[in-house]
Amino acid sequence: MTTAAFADFTTLRVGGPIAKLERARHSRELVGLLRRAWEQDEPWMALGGGSNLLASDDGYDGTVVLVETKGIETRRDGDGVVLRVQAGESWDAVVAYSVQRGLAGMEALSGIPGTMGAAPVQNIGAYGQELSDTLVAVELFDATTGEVEQVPAAELELGYRSSALKHGRDAVVTAVEVRLRDDGGRAGPLRYAQLASALGRGQDDAATVREVRDAVLRLRGSKGMVLDPDDPDTRSAGSFFTNPIVDEHVARTLPADAPRFPVAPEPEPLVLPLGSEPVAPPAAPTEVKLSAAWLIERSGVSRGFRLPGSRAAVSSKHTLALTNTGGATAEEVVELARFVQTRVFAEFGVRLQPEPTLLGIQL
Ligand SMILES: Cc1cc2nc3c(=O)[nH]c(=O)nc-3n(C[C@H](O)[C@H](O)[C@H](O)COP(=O)(O)OP(=O)(O)OC[C@H]3O[C@@H](n4cnc5c(N)ncnc54)[C@H](O)[C@@H]3O)c2cc1C
């Protein structure tokens, strides 16, 4: 057991004391530590790289289990390869491992900080790829059943920066299985225009996984989205707000130049009495994804913005990231986040939702 504070274990470098920090280096140790916390009925949480967490200055009166379990196993599966990875492995180290072997499916997710075990929690995504494209299953230690279970990806309700794990399922990911394509080092389609253009290709052109990884790392570096101790803009939790998804009626009220990306709605199940004629269900309004960065900029909050006297600032490279310029408190980050939310709501009537997990904080 170590005395610690969230400020030492999160990329935002804020957050108060942790009552009890336990480190789990082997999966048996992880299960044992969690079981003990559950038996003692004390508050508990899992912690990986702390790159998607904003913890309050009051800290946490419970057990934080730092997941540091390591190990990658590979097995062939038809024309692909399945990687089974322990939860504490670094996500980006696993991407590098897959790219080195010419395996495709994770290359556009290069440079995302954090651990393998946390990746399913918000179904990480970037540059046209999401974890859900390759995720086969997770091994979970479930606090409700007290059992270690193999859970298929289809049961995790994976969506845009969301999953059942982020929204209520009380469980810790102990291992993750992804299935990657073994296609001679060829990457999947370049779905993201900015990535295709950085590679000097069209969106249907081919690229290698190595080329995609290198281009993504360059793009991310230019936006302060790869952790770098020499770049204060990376003292953040990445994108602080998700891109809002609104129905088309709301989207129509925005200025003509607001970026809009249509989202296919989930079809509602249609239940008809036996023998009745099928009828077309009423058309649901189409959902539209907006750009949170655009809304923030157009509401008058620019890069580098900070409230008077505050040590929290909007990144100087990207309006979506809130940063700790040095010595900021969690409260200063929260004040800035509330200010941004208020500006965007006042200007456009759209409420921005935070992307990181909030601990002891309401936004
Ligand atoms: C510079 C920067 C860039 C980023 N870019 C992106 C991006 O492009 N796309 C993207 O999606 N995200 C991005 N992020 C966010 C973040 O890196 C990811 O969400 C990452 O998966 C978090 O991993 P972590 O190990 O740091 O999780 P933590 O911050 O430690 O934990 C986050 C949440 O997951 C829970 N958790 C952690 N481990 C487990 C586990 N084993 N089982 C169950 N729950 C667990 C924690 O309790 C907490 O609620 C970025 C962050 C930073 C700082």
* Domain assignments of the chain as residue spans, ordered by start: 2-67, 72-222, 225-265+284-363
The 10 Å Cβ neighbour count of residue 191 is: 13
Q: Which residues line ligand 1 (CB under 6 A)?
A: 11, 45-53, 67, 87, 112-115, 117-119, 121-122, 124-126, 165, 172-173, 225, 227, 234, 236-238, 357
pLDDT exceeds cutoff 70 at 265: no
pLDDT at residue 234, as a whole number: 95
Q: What percent of the chain is modeled with pLDDT above 70?
A: 95
Report how far apart, in Å, the C-alpha atoms of 332 and of each of 55, 107, 308 are.
12, 35, 11
pLDDT digits (tens, 9 = 90+) for 147-183: 999 999 999 999 999 999 999 899 999 999 999 999 9
Q: Which residue has the tokens 């495709």?
A: 104
DSSP 222-254: HTT-S--TT-GGGSB-S-SBPPPEEEHHHHTTS
Q: How far is the CA of 120 from the centre of ligand 1 (A)?
A: 9
Mutating to test ligand 1, I would choose from 51, 53, 67, 165 the residue with most ligand atoms within 8 A of its C-beta, which is 51
Q: How far is the CA of 242 from the centre of ligand 1 (A)?
A: 14
Triad 334, 326, 324: Cα angle to 5°:
35
The atom number, within ligand 1, closest to the CA of 224 reads 1
Instruction: Please choose, from the candidates 93, 87, 192, the residue with its C-alpha nearest in 3D space to the C-alpha of residue 133.
Output: 192
The whole-number average pLDDT for the span 279-300 is: 85
Q: Give me 124's structure tokens.
A: 């990480």
pLDDT exceeds cutoff 70 at 279: no
CA nearest ligand 1 atom 4, residue: 238
- Distance, first Cα to last Cα, the chain: 31
Q: How far apart are CA 183 and CA 207, in angstroms?
A: 12
Catalytic residue flag (residue 161): yes
Q: Which residue has the tokens 């790869």?
A: 226
134 with 180: CB under 8 angstroms? yes
pLDDT exceeds cutoff 70 at 266: no
pLDDT exceeds cutoff 90 at 271: no
Q: How far is the CA of 158 from the centre of ligand 1 (A)?
A: 15
SS3 (DSSP) at 22: strand
Pick the catalytic residue from 51, 90, 98, 161. Answer: 161
pLDDT at residue 181, as a whole number: 97
pLDDT exceeds cutoff 60 at 2: no
Catalytic residue flag (residue 155): no
Dihedral angle over CA of 333, 339, 343, 345, nearest 10 = 90
Q: Which fold has domain 72-222?
A: 3.30.465
Q: How far apart are CA 328 and CA 310, in angstroms?
A: 7
Q: Which fold has domain 225-265+284-363?
A: 3.90.78
The one-letter code for the residue type at 98 is S
Pick the catalytic residue from 51, 90, 239, 315. Answer: 239
pLDDT at residue 168, as a whole number: 87
Q: How far apart are CA 137 and CA 155, in angstroms?
A: 9
pLDDT digits (tens, 9 = 90+) for 198-240: 999 988 788 999 999 999 999 999 999 999 999 999 999 999 9
Q: How far apart are CA 149 and CA 347, in angstroms?
A: 47
Helices H / strands E in the chain, number of each: 7, 19
Q: How far is the CA of 212 from the centre of ligand 1 (A)?
A: 22
CA nearest ligand 1 atom 36, residue: 118
pLDDT exceeds cutoff 60 at 136: yes
pLDDT exceeds cutoff 70 at 124: yes
Q: How far apart are CA 211 and CA 227, in angstroms?
A: 20
SS3 (DSSP) at 73: strand
Catalytic residue flag (residue 177): no
The whole-number average pLDDT for the span 176-194 is: 94
54 with 333: CB under 8 angstroms? yes
Beta 53-55 vs 44-47: how paired, if at all?
unpaired
pLDDT exceeds cutoff 60 at 331: yes
Q: How far is the CA of 213 from the centre of ligand 1 (A)?
A: 20
pLDDT exceeds cutoff 60 at 1: no
pLDDT at residue 270, as a whole number: 64
The whole-number average pLDDT for the span 247-251 is: 90
DSSP 319-361: TT-EEE-SS--HHHHHHHHHHHHHHHHHHHS----B-SEEES-
pLDDT at residue 182, as a whole number: 97
Q: Give me 145's structure tokens.
A: 């059943």
The whole-number average pLDDT for the span 34-40 is: 94
Q: How far is the CA of 107 from the centre of ligand 1 (A)?
A: 18
Longest pairwise C-alpha distance within the chain: 70
CA nearest ligand 1 atom 52, residue: 238
Q: How far apart are CA 264 and CA 250, in angstroms?
A: 16
Strands (E), the chain: 2-5, 17-24, 44-47, 53-55, 60-67, 72-77, 80-86, 103-104, 125-126, 129-130, 135-142, 148-152, 171-182, 245-247, 260-263, 287-290, 312-314, 322-324, 357-359
Backbone angles phi, psi at 83, to 5 degrees: -105, 130
CATH class (in words) of the domain with range 2-67: alpha beta
